[in-house]
Structure 1
Amino acid sequence: MKNYSLKQLQSLTLDDKILFSRQIIKEWYEHWNGLVFVSFSGGKDSTVLLHVVRQLYKDVPAVFINTGIEYPEITEFVKQVENVVWLNPLETFEEIIHKYGYPVIDKRISEMIDTLQNGNGTADGKV
């Protein structure tokens, strides 16, 4: 498939965006010989994606990672969706925070925090 710029894709009509998305989904499905799943959070974006995928391939499973910090309304919604595999992390969100700290947006900042906490380099981000 031809590469398009973000600006070109944003300028497409809704119908063209749907057609484009369906083509990408078909290529993805065929590339993996149908051995695929949709990561499904229960939010609006993954719900739309799952809907479009299942319009083409009704048996594609969804996978929901139950982190334990979702809104109750989300987990109730996910329970109503068919063919969803629920996975539970090996560690709770609280355990991850205690072990690794809160996630930060910038990898450089994350590396500096790790360096300061573990003493394996300098605080300037150089390890």
Structure 2
Amino acid sequence: MLQRTSIVDTIKIKSVLIASTVQLGDSRIINGFSRALAVQREVDTFFGNEGNFSSYPVFSEPIPFQPLTEPLNISTHNCNPSIKVHNIDITAISASSILHVGNSEHISMEARIKHIRQLLPKEEEEH
């Protein structure tokens, strides 16, 4: 793997959450993975059995990656052995995301979120 020096003059990040990565410099492997259930209800109720990820197929279905069918030729020439960034200003990084300044050999990121919205029936809502 090509090695270069990563130089960042200023970095400002307000929030880094949920399996996210801030990487300054080279890395060989980066893996990020997160799962979340997001339940929104009009009435605060917890049934006790809703936190089971295996109940929802979205967490177990394979991701359908498309195979590369066209030839890929890459030629790289780096005259300068450094990566220079002046300013990075980020509000938030979340859900298996990455900020990376440098070289990477393998990166794999996955975030699976099941959103559930439970609203009252119309007749109950008016009373």
TM-score norm. by structure 2 comes to 0.22
Higher normalized helix content (fraction of residues): 1
TM-score norm. by structure 1 comes to 0.22
Which protein has the larger Cα radius of gyration, Structure 1 or Structure 2?
Answer: 2
Higher normalized strand content (fraction of residues): 2
